[in-house]
Amino acid sequence: QKEVEQDPGPLSVPEGAIVSLNCTYSNSAFQYFMWYRQYSRKGPELLMYTYSSGNKEDGRFTAQVDKSSKYISLFIRDSQPSDSATYLCAMIHNQGGKLIFGQGTELSVKP
């Protein structure tokens, strides 16, 4: 079993829809949680990060962490065609070190 599980999709939604992306994990030592966005043939770019449990909002994006359920989510409101990309969740242990990534979810927002 992988430490971080993420549904690879693909996920297709109409423009303006609310998108929910999720990851589950097995290691309770994870303390830092990130979401990266990766456009085709580009490197991943950091969208948001949260420490421990709770919510964080940035414009149309909201990240949620539920450590009791070992479950994290990224919500995208009013989705746009420019949001079409692969979204990767990533986590770091409380001791620091390497980022552990999920498989990535491919999102397509149709005009």
Partner 1 sequence: GAGVSQSPSNKVTEKGKDVELRCDPISGHTALYWYRQSLGQGLEFLIYFQGNSAPDKSGLPSDRFSAERTGGSVSTLTIQRTQQEDSAVYLCASSLYQENTEAFFGQGTRLTVV
Please choose, from the candidates 35, 23, 15, the residue with its C-alpha nearest in 3D space to the C-alpha of residue 108. 15
How far apart are CB 7 and partner 1 at their closest, in Å?
12
CB 105 within 8 A of CB 87: yes
Q: In this complex, which beta carbon is closest to partner 1, that of residue 31 or of residue 73? A: 31
Q: In this complex, which beta carbon is closest to partner 1, that of residue 97 or of residue 111? A: 97
What are the residues whose beta carbons fall under 8 Å from the beta carbon of 61, sequence distance 6 or more? 35, 47, 48, 74, 75, 76, 77
How far apart are CB 52 and partner 1 at their closest, in Å?
12
Which residues sit at the interface with partner 1, rule CB under 8 A?
Answer: 6, 8, 32, 34, 36, 42-46, 49, 51, 88, 90, 92, 96-104
How many residues make up the chain in this entry? 111
Residue 44 CB coordination number (10 Å): 19
How far apart are CB 68 and partner 1 at their closest, in Å?
21
How far apart are CB 44 and partner 1 at their closest, in Å?
5
Q: In this complex, which beta carbon is closest to partner 1, that of residue 32 or of residue 75? A: 32
